[in-house]
Structure 1
Amino acid sequence: MRYLAAAKILKKHNAQVDNSVFYLHYRISFVIFVICGALVTAKEFVGNPIQCISKAVPMHALNTYCYIKSTFSVLRHWTTPHEDGSAYPGVGAHDDEDQVVFHAYYQWVPFVLVLQAIMFYVPRYLWKTLEGGLFTTIIAGLDKLTMDENSRHKKHKVLSHYMLEHLNMHMNWAIRFFLCEALCLVVVVGNIYFTDHFLGGTFLEYGTEVINFPDMDPETRVDPMTRIFPRVTKCTFRMRMLLSLWHGAHKDN
């Protein structure tokens, strides 16, 4: 549960200085990104980030090398899966002339999730700084339940008098709120294009590809999830690198 401790942020205070859409933006979305980032790094729950298959190279060394170097898929094995004996789309024999796509974003996913969480919380931070506690001061505790009707009635009169005396005098306060709401929209749209760039230009068309996937030819179609987020990829490891490292360590000893 320590990875879900961020869910405490979901606790909603009584005095709300914003609306429901703003609340979903800086709390719900923020918490989703934080929890996903925590789960991605929770190796004891979801396993290792990468597991290579090899009998000639030590597993730990190979896993570390391929995770840092990044893996890739072969394009021609995407369009003709299983026809040439490939076990998985994008995985098969290749040479230097084949076009490949590197999946270099996997190791950066936790950092990007945290960055996106911060971006979604920035409008809230700016709004609380610009608002300065004015709203909480004006309502004078009327958002809290009280059994003293006389005290509540007096506070209502004071608040009504204040609103009548200061009508149209908080225009700057309202403008700041609308600017922060506009910033929320900028963050959402910006994250869409940021995610598309992060995934190599495949995110914007991902939804339509998923919808059209059932209508494609079963013999040649490739699941968009498999293509964009492959579970099996390739990695090139030169054995002479391992031998040189082994000889260097042997000489040092």
Structure 2
Amino acid sequence: MTLLALFGAVKNLLLFRNKNSRDVKNGLLVFSRLLGVMLVMFSILSTAKQFFGEPITCQASHGAIKPNLFTAYCFMNGTSTQMKKDRYEKIYNHEAHIGITAHVNDQEYSYISHTYYQWIPFIFFLQGIAFYLPYRMWKHNVGTKINKLLAKISDDPLTTTPIQDQVEDLAKFLTEKPLYFGKLAKLLFGVNFLALFQSVVQMYLLDIVFDGQYFGLGCNFYTIKNFWWEYRIILEEMFPMVVSCEMPYISTSGSVNVESGQCTMNMNILNQKLFVVSWILHMTFIAFAILNILWNLFLLITPILRYLMLRYYRAGNVRAQVLTRVHQFGSYGQYELLSILAKNMEQEHFDELLTVMAEQSFVRKQMDAESCSSSRSSFDFTSRLHPNFGGRKVQSHENLLPLSIVDSCAETATLDVRMRRVPVLPHGDAESPKF
């Protein structure tokens, strides 16, 4: 079986979007998805016997147990090595291999048990699923909504429908519901944080599986100054090539004997490289995720930054007045939604969408101002009939207006119910206001 046939099962995972899907990903989710696919490929590669042979091959010292039985027992029960605590040479005279010695001094050597290798494919596979999950969660919740929002926008350059007509309904919807994407923006924060959290948890779990050696795996690689064999010793402490194994058995005389032997760990030649790459990818992803979350928090608390991002990276051809009006009535959730829409629309469609949104925002503001003014002027007369009017207890007319009117007129200056509207004149005018 060739490598192409081996990895043919994951080719669909590499397709970011099909013909009918929308692009809803961000940089962190792309990284998370690619890392998940790579770890699934590591899982498949670690089971490829045609390239690296059997995972373990053992030989008993005295031949009392058949090799197949001894190999199966060592694969299931685990193996061991004895590593010198302070190593200054690659292999000492009394060592056959790194970790295989004839004379063991407890003060000089440490006993290391290896019981992980049968779980390596499952470890990589579960890691890949964990990294792929945040992307799927986000796409499942957002992809359908983006498809519905863009249903009337045509990708056909030969369409006869004017661009303004295509984007008019979408612009009206976004203008009337600026908080529509608020919950999904919170979900985006949650998905990004989930990707960061599960990456950190994975490293801690791997460190537990490998007896506290995983955290230092990559750090030791960057601190080596002398020879390559120094790092090979570090690798073989975690992934040894040759290991020892012991199997108790009952002899023909009825006594319990112990058969010892040595095993070669064929797959560790691959595991050494895969886990070094895995460590580097984990650390890179954690650093990138932290920067991504901090950047989104900065966008959340800094509206001017959202305006600049729209101005210079999304809609550079739109007039500044249009972007200012859209930004004035927008929110962080709407910014995220506009960013996703910009990736799924032609530039001229997106520019027209912002222009129509600005026009509708201005019209809506004018209508709110007129309705607010008429409501207050009509209420000045009716408020005189209120039983609290007349000196006993005076209430401002905001307390008497319906809540819908109060909300729409929140930015309009309030007047006492006993006063008429007084024009505000520039400082220094000779004419005084007449009551």
Q: Does 1:101 align with 2:112?
A: yes
Instruction: Pick 1 or 2: higher relative contact order, CA cutoff 8 A, min separation 6.
Output: 1
Identity %: 23
Select which of 30, 54, 63 maps to 1:23. Answer: 30
Pairs aligned (count): 241
User: For residue 241 of structure 2, what is the amino acid of its counterpart?
Assistant: R
Post-superposition offset of 1:197: 1.6
Post-superposition offset of 1:70: 0.8
User: For residue 84 of structure 1, what is the amino acid of its counterpart?
Assistant: N
Partner of 2:46: 40
Structure 1 or 2: more strand by fraction = 2
Alignment check: 8 A CA contact 2:25 2:139 kept: no
Once superposed, what is the RMSD of the aligned Cα atoms? 2.9
Alignment check: 8 A CA contact 1:77 1:90 kept: no
Provide, for residues 211-253 of structure 1, a one-character-per-residue CA deviation record: whole Å limited to 9, x for no partner.
22233797x8863112211111111234x447589xxxxxxxx
Q: Does 1:74 align with 2:85?
A: no
User: For residue 35 of structure 1, what is the amino acid of its counterpart?
Assistant: M
Partner of 1:58: 66
For 1:224 and 1:136, the matched residues in 2 are separated by 52
For 1:234 and 1:152, the matched residues in 2 are separated by 77
User: For residue 56 of structure 2, what is the amino acid of its counterpart?
Assistant: I
Provide, for residues 153-207 of structure 1, a one-character-per-residue CA deviation record: whole Å limited to 9, x for no partner.
2323332232222222321121111111111111121112122122111111122
Q: How does 1:1-253 map to 2 (within 5 A)?
A: 1-4=4-7, 5-13=9-17, 15-25=22-32, 27-54=33-60, 56=63, 57-76=65-84, 79=87, 81-94=90-103, 99-131=110-142, 133-140=144-151, 142=153, 145-151=155-161, 153=163, 154-215=165-226, 223-238=233-248, 240-241=249-250
Alignment check: 8 A CA contact 2:98 2:236 kept: yes
For 2:162 and 2:22, the matched residues in 1 are separated by 16
For 2:86 and 2:227, the matched residues in 1 are separated by 14
For 2:144 and 2:210, the matched residues in 1 are separated by 40
Alignment check: 8 A CA contact 1:37 1:113 kept: yes
Partner of 1:250: none
Unaligned runs of 5+ in 2: 255-435
| Secondary structure of the structure 1 residue equivalent to 2:213 | coil
| Secondary structure of the structure 2 residue equivalent to 1:73 | strand
Over 3 Å counting, the alpha-carbon distance change for 1:146 and 1:74 in structure 2 is same
Post-superposition offset of 1:141: 7.0
Partner of 2:291: none
Provide, for residues 64-87 of structure 1, a one-character-per-residue CA deviation record: whole Å limited to 9, x for no partner.
111111111102387365323312
For 1:228 and 1:7, the matched residues in 2 are separated by 32
Over 3 Å counting, the alpha-carbon distance change for 1:36 and 1:222 in structure 2 is closer
| Secondary structure of the structure 1 residue equivalent to 2:215 | coil
Over 3 Å counting, the alpha-carbon distance change for 1:164 and 1:6 in structure 2 is same
Over 3 Å counting, the alpha-carbon distance change for 1:241 and 1:94 in structure 2 is farther
Post-superposition offset of 1:91: 0.9
Post-superposition offset of 1:44: 2.8
Relative to the length of structure 2, the TM-score reads 0.50
Post-superposition offset of 1:7: 2.4
Moved more, 193-202 or 128-137: 128-137
| Secondary structure of the structure 2 residue equivalent to 1:82 | coil
| Secondary structure of the structure 2 residue equivalent to 1:17 | coil
